[in-house]
Chain A
């Protein structure tokens, strides 16, 4: 084997090595992207489940009640007075290990054929944290929904749930929770399998205006 052939052989080996390295790197990134997509899908599924639950409950807050002013001059259609749908102290937080335990209790209608029921949401840190790329540390939260003390919905992947109860076009700071007419929801979830690379946490933001809560607004004083 001559010197020139030797050089060509070495060059070919180096080029083949580089090519294989590039191919392996691309393959690895492809696998990471596939895993990331699975993680994202898991986070999204959890987000959809929580939104589905929250949206129905919040939008039906105070539903199934009306004031029959032309008839019996009383509240009709339910066993509760709409002014008691959200009572003082029913949206509260206490300090627990790793963060805060939030509790929101209200009366809602979860089924159009059934009378309104009391629903209690609680969310608190699980003890795990996730650190986003920008350095923000989020405490993973466990969200529970209970109806009559029975657990009827749960998520362990909430990284942020902020509910802002307010009056129309006003800032928070209401005195009476029963004056709630608008609820701003900020929700973030992370994958149960680990934080995603492209989308670290999936998000949902919406503003709900429960019609049932406004039913008392135009009543004669």
Chain B
């Protein structure tokens, strides 16, 4: 009788060991897949940041809408720049949309991009930051805007919730001085 119990215990121990090794292996493979998805996430974020970076710093500094040739300085103070309360308005990443013609228009924009058959959800937020300390939010208008793009995918999760990857880029404006 005791030998049967020992036998069962041995099999249970073996099963425990085997399943633990399998779990370790699956965790390794899972990390590789997560790493792959995370690289895609950064590619999507780069692309969106570049897209937004092609637009003028502000509606007020859009030189294509000014009398040509443009006289410098284009502006002399931050007072006429778009106030934070008026940020947003862009509904999609498209260049022909007049509501997406400067950086702050993209504030609050959400959407989905597909890369390699996987859907990535993104959210954009824009804020004024201090040009000399771009990690610090500015109290009002300034010559620097920080764009944050947060991208997530259902396959990259932590505790069951999507784990977003956030990339930030600061765009500055320097044509408020005499030379561009």
Contacts and interface: CB of A to CB of B under 8 A. Distances in A.
Contacts of A218: 63-64
Interface of A: 12, 15, 19, 22-23, 26-27, 29-30, 33-34, 36-37, 40, 44, 47, 55, 59, 66, 68-71, 73, 168-169, 181, 196, 198-199, 202-209, 211, 214, 217-218, 220
B29 A198 contact: yes
Interface string B26-51: 00110111011001100110110011
B46 A55 contact: yes
Nearest to B11: A19
A27 B47 CA distance: 42
Interface in B91-135: 94-96, 115-116
A37 B21 contact: no
Contact of A23 (B18, B28, B31, B70): B18
7 contacts: A66-B180, A204-B43, A206-B43, A207-B47, A207-B51, A217-B64, A220-B68
A208 B35 CA distance: 22
A206 B46 contact: yes
Nearest to B48: A207
Interface residues of B, number: 41
Interface of B: 7, 10-11, 14, 17-18, 21-22, 24-25, 28-29, 31-33, 35-36, 39-40, 43-44, 46-47, 50-51, 53-54, 63-64, 68-72, 94-96, 115-116, 179-180
Contacts of B95: 168-169
Contacts of A36: 28-29, 32
Contact of B69 (A29, A55, A70, A198): A70
Given A70-B70, A169-B95, A26 B18 contact: yes
Contact of A70 (B43, B51, B54, B71): B71
A174 to B, nearest CB: 17
Given A203-B36, A206-B46, A26 B22 contact: yes
Nearest to A218: B64
A33 B63 CA distance: 57
Nearest to A44: B35
Contacts of B71: 70
Nearest to B171: A211
Nearest to A25: B18
Given A198-B29, A198-B33, A22 B70 contact: no
The 9 lowest CB-CB distance pairs between A and B, nearest first, are A69-B69, A70-B72, A220-B68, A206-B43, A218-B64, A207-B47, A33-B25, A209-B50, A26-B18
Nearest to A208: B50
A198 B95 CA distance: 39
A218 B66 CA distance: 10
Contacts of A73: 69
A23 B11 CA distance: 11
Given A23-B14, A26-B25, A37-B32, 9 more contacts: A30-B24, A40-B35, A47-B39, A70-B70, A71-B72, A181-B54, A198-B29, A208-B47, A218-B63
A37 B180 CA distance: 51
B179 A71 contact: yes
Contacts of A15: 7, 11
A50 B33 CA distance: 20
A55 B42 CA distance: 12
A40 B43 contact: no
A169 B69 CA distance: 28
